[in-house]
Amino acid sequence: MPQPKLGLITPNELALFLDYYELTSAKTDFDYDNHAVVTQEYFVRRLPFGSYLVATGLEQVIAFIMNLRFEEKDLGWLEATSGPDFRNGFLDYLMNFKFSGDIHAVPEGTIVFPNEPIINVTGPTIEVQILETYLLNVMNFQSLVATKTARMVDIADQRTIVDFGARRAHGRDAAILAARAAYLAGATGTSLVLAGKKWGIPYIGTMPHAFIMNRPTELEAFREYSKSFPHNTILLVDTYDSLEGVRNAIIIGKELRDQGYRLQGIRLDSGDLVPLSFEARKILDKAGFEDVKIFVSSDLDEYRIEEMIREKAPIDGFGVGTRLVTGANFNPITREGGVSALPGVYKLVERIGKDGHAIPKTKLSADKILVPYRKQINRLLDDDSLFNRDVISRWDEPIADAEPILIPIIEQGRLTYNFPTLKESRAYCTQQINRLPKPYRLLSDSPIYPVKLSPKLEQASASLHSE
Amino acid sequence: MPQPKLGLITPNELALFLDYYELTSAKTDFDYDNHAVVTQEYFVRRLPFGSYLVATGLEQVIAFIMNLRFEEKDLGWLEATSGPDFRNGFLDYLMNFKFSGDIHAVPEGTIVFPNEPIINVTGPTIEVQILETYLLNVMNFQSLVATKTARMVDIADQRTIVDFGARRAHGRDAAILAARAAYLAGATGTSLVLAGKKWGIPYIGTMPHAFIMNRPTELEAFREYSKSFPHNTILLVDTYDSLEGVRNAIIIGKELRDQGYRLQGIRLDSGDLVPLSFEARKILDKAGFEDVKIFVSSDLDEYRIEEMIREKAPIDGFGVGTRLVTGANFNPITREGGVSALPGVYKLVERIGKDGHAIPKTKLSADKILVPYRKQINRLLDDDSLFNRDVISRWDEPIADAEPILIPIIEQGRLTYNFPTLKESRAYCTQQINRLPKPYRLLSDSPIYPVKLSPKLEQASASLHSE
pLDDT tens per residue, range B331-362: 666 666 678 999 999 999 999 999 999 999 87
Q: Which helix or strand (DSSP H or E) is residue B463 part of?
A: helix B455-465
List chain A domain ranges: 11-135+342-465, 205-298
| Helices and strands in chain A: count of H runs, count of E runs | 16, 19
| CB spacing of B210 vs A347 below 8 angstroms | yes
| CB spacing of B27 vs A228 below 8 angstroms | yes
- Lowest mean pLDDT across A58-67, A75-84, A193-202: A75-84
| CB spacing of A20 vs B326 below 8 angstroms | no
* Angstroms from A439 CA to nearest CA on chain B: 26
Instruction: Report chain B residues whose CB lies below 8 A from the CB of A242.
Output: 365
Mutual angle of helices A172-184 and A132-156, in 10-degree steps: 50
Distance CA(B113)–CA(B440), nearest Å, equals 11
pLDDT at res. A461 = 82
| A294, β-bridge pairs | A266
* Angstroms from B429 CA to nearest CA on chain A: 18
Greatest extent of chain A over all pairs of C-alpha atoms, in Å: 83
| CB spacing of A24 vs B207 below 8 angstroms | yes
Average pLDDT over every residue of A1-26:
95
Average pLDDT over every residue of A388-398:
96
Instruction: Report chain A residues whose CB lies below 8 A from the CB of B246.
Output: none
pLDDT at res. B390 = 98
Nearest residue of chain B to residue A227 (CA atoms):
B28
Residue A129 has its nearest CB partner, among B197, B210, B363, at: B210
Q: Is the pLDDT of residue A248 over 70?
A: yes
Mutation for B interface: A129, A172, A204, most B CBs within 10 A: A172
Distance CA(A321)–CA(A323), nearest Å, equals 6
| CB spacing of A418 vs B19 below 8 angstroms | no
Instruction: Report chain B residues whose CB lies below 8 A from the CB of A415.
Output: 1, 3-4
Nearest residue of chain A to residue B225 (CA atoms):
A28
pLDDT at res. B357 = 93
pLDDT at res. A332 = 63
| CB spacing of A365 vs B174 below 8 angstroms | no
Average pLDDT over every residue of A86-112:
94
Nearest residue of chain A to residue B362 (CA atoms):
A213
Residue A11 has its nearest CB partner, among B8, B63, B270, at: B8
Average pLDDT over every residue of A381-387:
95
Asked if A280 contacts A294 with a C-beta cutoff of 8 angstroms, the reply is yes
CA dist B383 → A144, A193, B387, B400, B451 (Å): 50, 51, 10, 15, 18
Q: Is the pLDDT of residue A463 over 80?
A: no
| CB spacing of B171 vs A138 below 8 angstroms | yes
- Lowest mean pLDDT across A134-143, A166-175, B66-75, B80-89: B80-89
| CB spacing of A6 vs B63 below 8 angstroms | yes
Distance CA(B263)–CA(B249), nearest Å, equals 8
Distance CA(A405)–CA(A107), nearest Å, equals 8
Residue B16 has its nearest CB partner, among A82, A177, A197, at: A197
A132: CB partners within 8 A, 6+ apart? A18, A19, A22, A40, A346, B167, B208
For a pLDDT cut of 70, what percent of chain A falls above it?
A: 96
Distance CA(A381)–CA(A223), nearest Å, equals 56
Quick one: which of A386, A362, A381, A364 has its CA closest to A436?
A386
* Fold match between domain B11-144+343-465 and domain B145-325: no
Q: Which helix or strand (DSSP H or E) is residue A376 part of?
A: strand A375-381
| CB spacing of A132 vs B367 below 8 angstroms | no
* Angstroms from B386 CA to nearest CA on chain A: 30
Q: Is the pLDDT of residue A122 over 90?
A: yes
Distance CA(B19)–CA(B15), nearest Å, equals 11
Instruction: Report chain A residues whose CB lies below 8 A from the CB of B136.
Output: 166-168
Instruction: Report chain A residues whose CB lies below 8 A from the CB of B164.
Output: 19
Distance CA(B69)–CA(B65), nearest Å, equals 9
| CB spacing of B240 vs A177 below 8 angstroms | no
Cβ-based burial of B216 (10 A; exposed 0-12, middle 13-18, buried ≥19)? exposed
| CB spacing of B18 vs A192 below 8 angstroms | yes
Quick one: which of A148, A149, A150, A155 has its CA closest to A305?
A155
Q: Is the pLDDT of residue A257 over 90?
A: yes
Instruction: Report chain B residues whose CB lies below 8 A from the CB of A260.
Output: none
Rounded to a whole number, what is the distance in angstroms from the first to the last CA of chain A? 65
| CB spacing of B13 vs A197 below 8 angstroms | yes
Rounded to a whole number, what is the distance in angstroms from the first to the last CA of chain B? 65
Quick one: which of B82, B181, B104 has its CA closest to A170?
B181
Q: CA angle at residue B428 from B202 to B120, to 5 degrees?
A: 115
Asked if B443 contacts B155 with a C-beta cutoff of 8 angstroms, the reply is yes
Q: Which helix or strand (DSSP H or E) is residue A55 part of?
A: strand A53-55
Asked if B310 contacts B344 with a C-beta cutoff of 8 angstroms, the reply is no
User: Other CB atoms closer than 10 Å to residue A32's CB: what's the count?
Assistant: 14
Distance CA(A211)–CA(B348), nearest Å, equals 9
| CB spacing of A214 vs B81 below 8 angstroms | no
Asked if A372 contacts A460 with a C-beta cutoff of 8 angstroms, the reply is yes
The DSSP secondary structure of B266-291, one letter per residue, reads: EEE-SS-HHHHHHHHHHHHHHTT-TT
The DSSP secondary structure of B99-144, one letter per residue, reads: --SEEEEPPTTEEE-TT--SEEEEEEHHHHHTTHHHHHHHHHHHHH
Quick one: which of B297, B46, B322 has its CA closest to B178?
B322
Q: Is the pLDDT of residue A467 over 50?
A: no
pLDDT at res. A260 = 97
Nearest residue of chain A to residue B35 (CA atoms):
A214
* Angstroms from A165 CA to nearest CA on chain B: 9
Asked if B48 contacts A225 with a C-beta cutoff of 8 angstroms, the reply is no
pTM (2 decimals)? 0.97
Instruction: Report chain B residues whose CB lies below 8 A from the CB of A336.
Output: 335
Asked if A430 contacts A186 with a C-beta cutoff of 8 angstroms, the reply is yes
| A54, β-bridge pairs | A111
pLDDT at res. B467 = 47
For B67-82, b/e burial (b = at least 16 CB within 10 A) is ebebbeebbebbeeeb
Pick the CATH number of A205-298 from 3.40.50.2000, 3.20.20.70, 3.40.50.12780, 3.40.109.10: 3.20.20.70
Quick one: which of A417, A440, A422 has its CA closest to A106?
A417
Interface A:B, Cβ pairs < 8 A: 451
Nearest residue of chain B to residue A245 (CA atoms):
B365
Helix intervals (H) in B11-124: 20-31, 58-66, 72-81, 88-95
* Angstroms from B193 CA to nearest CA on chain A: 6
| A447, β-bridge pairs | none
The DSSP secondary structure of A411-425, one letter per residue, reads: ETTEE---PPPHHHH
Instruction: Report chain A residues whose CB lies below 8 A from the CB of B320.
Output: none
Residue A20 has its nearest CB partner, among B34, B59, B191, at: B191
> Which tens digit of pLDDT belongs to each residue from A322-357?
999 999 887 666 666 678 999 999 999 999 999 999
Distance CA(A375)–CA(A39), nearest Å, equals 9
Residue A9 has its nearest CB partner, among B133, B176, B337, at: B176
> Which tens digit of pLDDT belongs to each residue from B65-99?
999 999 999 999 999 998 888 877 999 999 999 99
Mutation for A interface: B176, B206, B339, most A CBs within 10 A: B339
Q: Which helix or strand (DSSP H or E) is residue B147 part of?
A: helix B132-156
Q: Which helix or strand (DSSP H or E) is residue B194 part of?
A: helix B193-199
Residue B59 has its nearest CB partner, among A5, A129, A339, at: A5
Instruction: Report chain A residues whose CB lies below 8 A from the CB of B182.
Output: none
- Helix or strand or coil: residue A252? helix
Q: Is the pLDDT of residue A367 over 70?
A: no
Residue A85 has its nearest CB partner, among B141, B230, B362, at: B230
Distance CA(B332)–CA(B370), nearest Å, equals 32
Residue A59 has its nearest CB partner, among B4, B206, B209, at: B4
The domain made up of B145-325 has a fold known as TIM Barrel (3.20.20)
Task: Give domain B11-144+343-465's CATH superfamily.
Answer: nicotinate phosphoribosyltransferase (3.20.140.10)
Distance CA(A35)–CA(A289), nearest Å, equals 70
The list of chain B residues with pLDDT below 50 reads 467
Q: Is the pLDDT of residue A466 over 70?
A: no
Question: Positive or negative CA dihedral for A16, A22, A24, A26?
Answer: negative
Reported in sequence order, the residue ranges of B193-286 that DSSP labels E, i.e. its strands, are 233-236, 263-268
Q: Is the pLDDT of residue A366 over 90?
A: no
Question: Positive or negative CA dihedral for A312, A314, A316, A318?
Answer: negative
Domain with residues A11-135+342-465, CATH architecture = Alpha-Beta Barrel (3.20)
Distance CA(A84)–CA(A203), nearest Å, equals 51
Distance CA(A40)–CA(A132), nearest Å, equals 9
Residue A44 — φ and ψ, nearest 5°? -125, 125
Q: Is the pLDDT of residue A115 over 80?
A: yes
